[in-house]
Amino acid sequence: MQFAQNIFKYLIPAMHYPESTFVIIEIDGKRMASMNQSQNLTHGLESKICVSGKVCGQLSVFQ
């Protein structure tokens, strides 16, 4: 999905440690990740994605 690629393109370089940033976008049951990640993700931020007042997904950023 093109919108996810745009989010990855601008969000990752804005992070303090972009080389170790991993982003997951989940919308309507579909999961898009900035890269394949097999490590244990422990330090992250999460935010719900809402459209018209209804939660339809989540944005997670890990470092």
Q: What is the pLDDT of residues 28-57, one digit of tens each?
A: 999 999 987 767 777 899 999 999 999 999
Count of domains in the chain? 1
Look up residue 11 and give its two tokens. Answer: 């969000």
The percent of residues above 70 in pLDDT, for the chain, comes to 97
Q: Averaged over 8-36, what is the pLDDT? A: 91
Instruction: From 45, 63, 50, 61, select the one nearest 8 (Cα to Cα).
Output: 61
Give the domain extent around 56. 2-62
Name the residue type at position 25: I
Whole-angstrom distance, CA of residue 63 vs CA of residue 61: 7
Sheet bearing 30-33, strands edge to edge = 30-33, 22-27, 54-62, 44-51
pTM: 0.84
SS3 content of the chain, % helix, strand, coil (to 5): 25, 45, 30
